[in-house]
Each structure stands twice: as structure tokens, then as C-alpha cells.
Amino acid sequence: MRTKVILGLLFLLVISSCTQTRIKDHTEWGKYFDDNGIKNACIMLRDNNHESIHYYNKDRSIRRILPASTFKVFLSLVALETAVAPDDQLMIKWDSVTRRPDWDKDMTMREALQVSSEPYFKEVIRRIGAARIQHYLDTIKYGNMQMAGKLEEIWTNNSLQISADEEMGFLKRLYFAELPVSERSQRIVKTMMLREETPGYRLYYKTGTGTVGDSTTYWVAGFAERIEHVKENKDAMNKSDVRNYPYFFAENFSMPATDTSKKWGDVRIDILKNVLMDYGALPR
């Protein structure tokens, strides 16, 4: 009886981002990781239009790991919801410590999310405080909802963890403004995640990179909107000829921390786009 309960819970975890879905294993997506010498990897894709979930490596997809900088999406939401950030133009001055050229300046929250500024978001989480962070972790049910050690390191010190499946579900709820925070906060953060826009699609995502011991994990998670133009009947209630078809995704892989043979940050985006194009979420 206990075994059946455990299996049932695992099944629910796999489909936590939706219900009544079709689920398909795409072993062929492994070629994109194999071609780059990546052995420990997964990717999940939810086709919202057909209520289906597609994945490569189910076991890793449901395994919780550190969120790295993908957590800054959550932090941005909480900053807005608590009014620590009145809007996406919250300006935080550079502390004059030299780190990286794209971080070493005064910047707004919108700019900080685009360049994934560590000093900016460490200051944001300090202003929010541990009690409010824990409240929103519990309320939103983000990953394992646990934090330990220094507050400004919880997304990289391996105390807070989330799976690709859970990350995808979190972003789906953000997209449809279904999280237990205001619609305004979700709308602003969604626009902050936009990275590419063309006549045929919009691509929103947040990357993350975190090292624990001798292993570095690379994340990319977000959603794509395929844009199509249709001709509506003159009597149709919907007068717009534009349709946005959303697809949600979460990808992560791990490599030895000492491996600098490739620009792994670029590789993760290349793999993501290949999978999205294979599936038809992005045009080739």
C-alpha cells in the first residue's frame, strides 16, 4: 500500500505544472546534449495549446537542485509585491566594487534582471528580509521552500532547491497571472523576462549558473510565444487577427566546474532553441 502511495505522489510531482495532460518522452532530444559532451541534463516543454508535456530525462526533470539565478524571477516578484520595489525602475547605486563591466554601474531592476546582477539582487533580498522571503516561498510553494545560511546566498548555497518540473509550473502560473500575488507584479516581471522579439515569436527566459563542490549547474527557464496571424470572420467576437500560442520550458545540465572547453552559458541557449524549433514552438 505504501509503495502505491509513493508512486502516486511521484506521478503527481511529474505533472505538478498541469492536470489532464499528455506526457511524452523525447529521447531524441538527447542528441543536443550528447553532441556537446553533456551527460547530466534534462529539458521539459509544456505545450499549453495541446495540454501536453514533453521531456528528456524524466528522473532529472523531477530532481530538485539549486535554482541559481533563475530565482531572481521570484525575487523580482516579491520585491514588487512588498513595495521594496515600487516598480521595475527601482534604482540601486553601484557600491563601487569592481566585479563585471555589466554590473559595475547604477541600475534599475529591469536592467539588473537582464544582466543577472548579483550585487543588485543581494541588496534587494536584504531589503525584503528573511521573514518575508520565507512567507512568499511558502505561499507560492517555490521548490522545497527551505533556506539556510546567508540570506543573500540561498539561491546558490544549495539550501533552496527546485526541479525543472516545478520551475516550469511556476513560470506557467506567472504567465497566466495565477500566482498568489497581484496581477500587476506578475505582469511587470513577465515583461522583464523578454529576451527576443521577432514578427514570428517572443522568447522570455532567465538563466542561472551555480557551482556546488566540483559541479556547475546551468539553467534556462521561461516561455515562448509563437505569433500567428489569422483572418477572423467579420461577425466574430474576437476582432484581433493575432494569436499568441505559449510554450513553457525548463532546462538544466551539470558539468565539471573546471570544464571551460566551451561557453556553456551559450550552449544552454543553443540547445533550448534547437528543442523549441524541433517541436515547432519557434520557426526555423
Active-site positions read 69
Sheet of 201-212, strands arranged across: 22-25, 52-56, 40-47, 242-256, 215-229, 201-212, 194-197
**What is the Cα–Cα distance from 70 to 98, expressed in whole angstroms?**
23
**What is the Cα–Cα distance from 282 to 15, expressed in whole angstroms?**
24
Contact of 65 with 252, CB cutoff 8 Å:
yes
Residues with Cβ within 8 Å of 50's Cβ and at least 6 positions away in sequence, in order, are: 22
Q: How far is CA 123 from CA 111, 131, 257, in A?
A: 15, 15, 27
**What is the Cα–Cα distance from 186 to 76, expressed in whole angstroms?**
9
